Amino acid sequence: MNVIIKENYQELSTYTANLIAKFIRSKPGCVLGLATGSTPIGTYKELVRMHKEEGLDFSQVKTFNLDEYLGVGIDLNKPYHLDQSYARFMYEELFKHINIKKENIYFLNGLTNDPEAHCRWYEEQIKKAGGIDLQLLGIGRDGHWAFNEPGSSLASRTRVQALTKQTLDDNYESFYKKAGIDRDEMPHFALTMGIGTILEAKNIVMIANGIKKAEVVAASLEGPVTNQITASAIQLHSGDITVVLDKEAASKLKNVGYYRHVENLKLKYNLL
Ligand code: GLP
């Protein structure tokens, strides 16, 4: 596991975008797993800049998003109404600015009539695409990955999940409130890739910033593996893991000295 600690959010975003861009350049037809939330916004901005200014090419890239609120969603082929779906978020923050093909974008559809069948379909599409090459993840304040709330099985698959009060509060503050939507109108359920699904991604990049995430970052990287902090499943992943943090999010880690030492060694030997 590489733990990279950056001075601030901007540096974290640039570093993460560079890492993803490098990956796309080495495998133009790669399959990316993408995340929502406020944390990846800077990374997406930087990827858009690289597309516009440096010709970063998304024409063969496929994407699968981690999760979606149940009850909202958009059809990218039709004009969409303003909603707080993750599909809309992705379209606004990334997809409408780059040359990705619509047919290569996969979302869990929050408007599905049959969530269970839809979740099975999603898993099949991931398999058909050859699996996720690189999965980008944030972390919720209750330690969740995607919408895998405390208590989720670490072997869980894509499914419906009820959201915790903490998650509802956080996501209301970050998104719904700004859009003038009433707290009670916010969806209380979501569709989410499971922890088992996420762990099958070949490479994992987790990002976190700010003091609010410090405790849960330390618990997930250095504490016991537990279904109470589903991001702690990162310790079970067998592929390449990179965790990119700002100084505040890293402030409760015990082994910072070692992480910095490893980063310097890898830089010296050109291994990063
Ligand atoms: C939501 C998403 C997660 C995300 C988390 C953190 O709950 N489902 O995938 O990691 O929010 O969000 P933020 O980046 O806004 O802190």
Catalytic-role residue among 46, 93, 133, 142: 142
Going by CA atoms, what residue is nearest to atom 5 of ligand 1? 140
Cα(61)–Cα(52) distance, integer angstroms: 16
- Ligand 1 environment, Cβ below 6 A: 35-39, 66-67, 138-140, 146-147, 167, 171, 174
- Nearest CA, atom 8, ligand 1: 146
Ligand 1 centre from 37 Cα, in Å?
4
Q: Which two tokens stand for residue 62?
A: 């496929």
Q: Under a CB-based contact definition with an 8 Å cutoff, are residues 270 and 256 in contact?
A: no
Active-site annotation holds for 81: no
Q: For each successive 10 residues of the chain (272 residues), what is the average pLDDT?
A: 97 98 98 97 98 98 96 66 80 96 96 95 98 98 97 98 93 84 88 98 98 98 98 96 98 96 90 77
Other C-beta atoms closer than 10 Å to the C-beta of 77 total 8
Judged by phi (left if over 0) then psi (alpha if -120 to 50, else beta), residue 270 lies in left
Number of H helices, E strands in the chain: 8, 10
Where does 82-213 have alpha helices with state H? 86-93, 115-128, 165-171, 195-199
pLDDT at 78: 58
What sign does the dihedral 228-231-232-234 (CA atoms) show? positive
Provide the whole-model pTM. 0.95
Q: How far is the CA of 36 from the centre of ligand 1 (A)?
A: 6
State in Å: Cα 140 to ligand 1 middle. Answer: 5
- Residue 251 Cα, ligand 1 centroid: separation in angstroms? 20
Our mutation pick for probing the ligand 1 site, out of 12, 36, 64, 176, counting the most ligand atoms within 8 A of Cβ, is 36
Q: Whose CA is nearest to atom 10 of ligand 1?
A: 138
pLDDT (0 to 100) of residue 75: 65
237 has catalytic annotation: no
Task: Locate the ligand 1 atom nearest the alpha carbon of residue 40 and give its number.
Answer: 14
